[in-house]
Structure 1
Amino acid sequence: MPLASSPIGVFDSGVGGLSVLRALLAAMPNERFVYLADSAHAPYGERGDTYVSARTHAIADYLCAQHGIKALVVACNTATAAAIHEVRSSRPELPLVGLEPAIKPALAATRTGHVGVIGTRGTLTSAKFARLMTSVAEQAHFVIQPCDGLAHAIERSVSRPGPLPGAPVEATETGKLCKTYLEAMGAFGTAPGLIDTLVLGCTHYVFVADELRAITGPDVQFIETGEPVARQTQRLLEAGGIANAPADMGAGGGQPAATPATSRVQLLTTGPVEMLQAAAQRWLDLPAQCCSSVTVP
């Protein structure tokens, strides 16, 4: 049985799940994490359910066998939609947290009643997403936009320089794709009839929030899932009695001293390690030595 000191596994098809890991690190400063980016098999969002399910099972098996994880966060909307029910059935003893586009929080946030949802085609055409949308269909007007290629472009962008100050949003590959897809959705804003709330239905999209904001304007609300996932993970660990207690107290016996992120995170990838290193440094301020490559058959 995993111990309270065992790590939490987190995985995504690539580096996008680092946005979820960032929220987990902030919410649970005494926990250890093993993050796996399955970049050699990305993007999941443009593959079939059978393929994504096989990869999800393989990674869950690897993280349990090789790292003795005490819980698993599936930090990928596509993998959650395709396979989380299967993993939950095959490993009922493993606390499991998945992702889905944050439709219900968006309903609570919208004032115009017009909500945009962007995500991968795999997520937005899944049976799981269809059931979610059926349950809320009468509560708002939804504009659903698959963003083919955007997650993969974000992966590639980590090793490229950003746009020059003042450059138009379409000056980068990611910005061009954001502009194309958001313009296809219609008008954004807070006036009646406009889309005032945008659901970021892929973990990668958090990392292009600035490009998206340049298109929607400053008043549109963005809804993503990192913080809710972190809260749910923490609840499951506490309910199961496997939350990790702080090792020692801070100076003067006050608040517990948080363990530095560099000593409690291991980052793995099935793809080029340089991509993960660049993403970890750029988005989490973690050094290259936290990253290594692995093979997950």
Structure 2
Amino acid sequence: MTQPVHNAASDAPIGIFDSGVGGLSVLRHIHAQLPHEHLTYFADSGYAPYGGRSEQWLVERSLAVAGFLFGHGAKALVVACNTATVAAIKAIRAQWPGMPIVGVEPGLKPGAAATTSGTVGVLATDRTLRGEKFLQLRDQIAAATNARFLLQPCVGLVDQIELGELGSEATEAMLEKYVVPLLEGGADTLVLGCTHYPFVEDIIRRIVSEHASTPVTLIDTGDAVARQLGRLLEGAGLLRPAGVAQLHGYTTAGADVLAEAFRGLLGLTPRIEHVKLG
């Protein structure tokens, strides 16, 4: 059954959600490209990570979080989580037809366009890489471009990033275990297929510099998501033209943890509230 939504106004906020802090990598692109927009970020850290969850659970949880954000006045929604997008974006759009809704997907198409070796490595959660929507997209792009995709599930990496272990030896060892086989397999392009992964991009680049003999391109789709969101808002007449933007955060875990993530990762200090959802 379709849920009723408020009459959206240009001054209403954009809702953004992820299983945790990874979606902040998308929020920073939105904040940079659409500086006048009010943003509401929902970190479902009390239920993270999403990667090991069933598809039914992901759909139900994503609908609940989307409902929370729309219920708090969001004029648009960004599903800033690859796993939730693959599993639930269709259900979210069916529940709120006509609302601007943008998901994130691993950048297979830009990866195929960037490669010169014809081999693209994809770093993502196991759940994303097993998703039917993802596999269909991979097959379509492979058939159209003759690109070969090497899929690397990064078990445990989201947990490390959620813990703030961005530069630890354990995180670096984990990344080396995941990245080096892709380089050895001939990949000259690496797709960061989870919104958490841009926060360890510096480590990935260091590993690449140590193990690759030729240049390697890294693909982060946050910029493309922000541009698509801007196009949808403009088409719907919902762009906020000017004014001081407000930033508000909600989390199902500790508010202090999300506040520290905003400060440490983005240099921002929004108001953060802990909420119970489900």
One of 241, 249, 265 as aligned partner of 1:245: 241
One of 254, 266, 270 as aligned partner of 1:284: 266
TM-score by structure 1 length? Answer: 0.86
Q: CA deviation at 1:185?
A: 2.8
Match of 1:209 in 2: 201
What amino acid sits opposite 1:134 in the alignment? D
Q: CA deviation at 1:283?
A: 1.1
Taking the aligned partners of 1:271 and 1:173, their CA distance within structure 2 comes to 24
Taking the aligned partners of 2:169 and 2:256, their CA distance within structure 1 comes to 21
One of 76, 82, 98 as aligned partner of 1:77: 82
Q: CA deviation at 1:183?
A: 2.5
One of 104, 114, 117 as aligned partner of 2:122: 117
Structure number with bigger Rg: 1
Taking the aligned partners of 2:16 and 2:124, their CA distance within structure 1 comes to 20
Match of 1:266 in 2: 248
Taking the aligned partners of 1:146 and 1:244, their CA distance within structure 2 comes to 39
Taking the aligned partners of 1:101 and 1:95, their CA distance within structure 2 comes to 20
Give the 3-state SS of the residue equivalent to 2:242 in structure 1. Answer: coil
Taking the aligned partners of 1:204 and 1:245, their CA distance within structure 2 comes to 30
Structure 1 contact 46–148 (Cα < 8 Å) conserved: no
What amino acid sits opposite 2:267 in the alignment? D
Structure 1 contact 13–42 (Cα < 8 Å) conserved: yes
1:22 correspondence with 2:25: no
One of 167, 171, 174 as aligned partner of 1:174: 171
Taking the aligned partners of 2:183 and 2:268, their CA distance within structure 1 comes to 38
**What's the CA shift string for 1:143-190, capped at 9, x where partnerless?**
110101101111002xx5x65xxxxxxx52221210111133342xxx
Please, what is the CA RMSD of the aligned residues? 1.5
Give the 3-state SS of the residue equivalent to 1:45 in structure 2. Answer: coil
TM-score by structure 2 length? Answer: 0.92
One of 68, 76, 88 as aligned partner of 2:93: 88
Q: CA deviation at 1:13?
A: 0.4
Match of 2:137 in 1: 132
- Aligned pairs, number: 266
Match of 1:11 in 2: 17
Match of 1:236 in 2: 232
Give the 3-state SS of the residue equivalent to 1:203 in structure 2. Answer: coil
1:194 correspondence with 2:186: yes
Match of 1:252 in 2: none
Return 5+ residue gaps in structure 2 as ranges: 1-6
**What's the CA shift string for 1:1-27, capped at 9, x where partnerless?**
011000000000000000000000000
Give the 3-state SS of the residue equivalent to 2:98 in structure 1. Answer: coil
Match of 2:163 in 1: 156
Q: CA deviation at 1:224?
A: 1.0
Q: CA deviation at 1:272?
A: 1.5
Match of 1:53 in 2: 59
> Which deviates more, 55-64 or 209-218?
209-218
Give the 3-state SS of the residue equivalent to 1:242 in structure 2. Answer: coil
Q: CA deviation at 1:290?
A: 2.4
Taking the aligned partners of 1:142 and 1:89, their CA distance within structure 2 comes to 31
Structure 1 contact 266–291 (Cα < 8 Å) conserved: yes
Give the 3-state SS of the residue equivalent to 2:150 in structure 1. Answer: strand
**What's the CA shift string for 1:195-229, capped at 9, x where partnerless?**
11000000000000011111112821100111000
Give the 3-state SS of the residue equivalent to 1:5 in structure 2. Answer: coil
Taking the aligned partners of 1:243 and 1:136, their CA distance within structure 2 comes to 32
> Which deviates more, 173-182 or 84-93?
173-182
Structure 1 contact 77–203 (Cα < 8 Å) conserved: yes
Question: Which 4+ runs in 1 deviate beyond 3 A?
Answer: none
Taking the aligned partners of 1:10 and 1:59, their CA distance within structure 2 comes to 10
Taking the aligned partners of 1:114 and 1:296, their CA distance within structure 2 comes to 42
